[in-house]
Amino acid sequence: MDNQHYTLITESGVEEKVRIEHQLSIVHQTAQSMPEKRLEVYRLRWIEGLSRKEIASRMGITVTTVDIHLKKACDYLKETIQANPKGNDY
């Protein structure tokens, strides 16, 4: 592989990493505007990696309630980000 081809691959990889980091930043910024309990469930599941059962136990709620919070969080994030795909005004 010549150096020019390697440079293009490297630059492409860096650009992809920056794009993904930007998208994650938008998701996390958007999540901050969710109701407190929903944000806590989101954080425990997707940032700390706890299971639904562990979240329920830690928060003193049922697994069904955890599932409801997760569904609402995902719906909210999807709707909000789709409404403003450039990531402005978060």
71 domain-assigned? yes
Kindly give the residue spans of alpha helices, DSSP state H, lying in 1-90: 3-31, 36-42, 52-59, 63-83
Residue 51, pLDDT score:
98
Whole-Å CA distances, 40 to 44, 48, 50, 55: 6, 10, 11, 9
Domain coverage including residue 42: 3-83
Using the predicted structure, report yes or no on whether residue 5 has a pLDDT greater than 70: no
72 domain-assigned? yes
Residue 3, pLDDT score:
54
Condensed to tens digits (0 to 9), the pLDDT of residues 44-67 reads: 999 999 999 999 999 999 999 999
Residue 55 belongs to domain with CATH number: 1.10.10.10
Burial of 54 (0-12, 13-18, 19+ CB in 10 A): middle
Nearest to 40 by CA among 77, 65, 69, 19: 69
90 domain-assigned? no
